[in-house]
Amino acid sequence: MLGFIGFLLVVIIMTFIILIIKRIIIENSNNQTTRRHRNIHVNQPSKNWSSKVIPHPNSKPIEPSVRHPSYKEASGNGFLSTFLNKGNYGEYLTYKELTRLKGYHRVMTNLYIPTKSGKSTELDLVMISQKGIFVLESKNYSGWIFGNERNKNWMQMLPGGRKFPFFNPIWQNSGHIQALKAVVGIEEDSYYHSYIIFSERCKLKQIQVSSPNVVVIKRNRLIATIKQTIQQTEDKLTTKEIDQLYERLREYTLVDAETKQAHIRQVSKR
């Protein structure tokens, strides 16, 4: 019995000590808060104090940023139509790389631009930046690729010596740029950068390019090459002009199925 009473007394004493410690802590906290409020009151600026923030001389200006829509939002292609279609999957990979670039820019995909003949031409990807308009043609091919800018057809060679000719992608992208010029109203060639992007699954064996502002590379070299272009190119567009061009081109994205089918029939007749 005495042992229980002794244990109970110890518990009561410890509880009392804990309550005292908590009270001391609370009082100290209140005193510190009061002192802070007093300091704030004393140091408050007068009514005539300027509210203008003076930047530090070594601080960097805050660059404007933009939220890039997801590939599904930009293209209208769902999960299955993206990952089960080689062409769409290549565009998706390139789109994802472009949206990771720093600096103010807009990225668009699957634009159906009208041509002078009354038909349409499909632009895989367009990036509008301060350095100009990048028009990208995505080729998600495998095997060996041979091509010369001056030749109408290029060649894809697969294992076993199988050969498949395809239309010169530089010529193809040149047609895209001509159609784009008519829509945006910018005719000067220096504003446009033609990029032909092949997948990592292929090997570019013999590629000959002579025109300025034309690049033929594999996707794993895309970001490094664009950064180099950006460093070597003077600014041509303001952020406001970038947004204006983006809004002007939006009407040519997310087209209906009928427009897409008409374009496919048009391509198949070539």
102 compared with 57, residue with greater pLDDT: 102
SS3 57: coil
pLDDT tens, residue by residue, 154-210: 999 999 999 999 999 999 999 999 999 999 999 999 999 999 999 999 999 999 999
For 176-237, the DSSP string reads HHHHHHHHH----GGGEEEEEEE-TTEEEEEEE--STTEEEEEGGGHHHHHHHHHHHS----
Angle between helices 239-249 and 169-184 (to 10 degrees): 100
Give the integer Cα–Cα distance in Å for 9 and 4: 9
CATH topology for the 71-142+169-203+214-262 domain: Trna Endonuclease; Chain: A, domain 1 (3.40.1350)
Element (H, E) at 63: none
Structure tokens at 85: 């279609």
Q: Tokens 């930046």, residue?
A: 129
Q: Is the pTM of this model over 0.95?
A: no
Sequence-ordered strand ranges (E) for 100-184: 105-114, 120-129, 132-139, 143-148, 153-158, 162-167
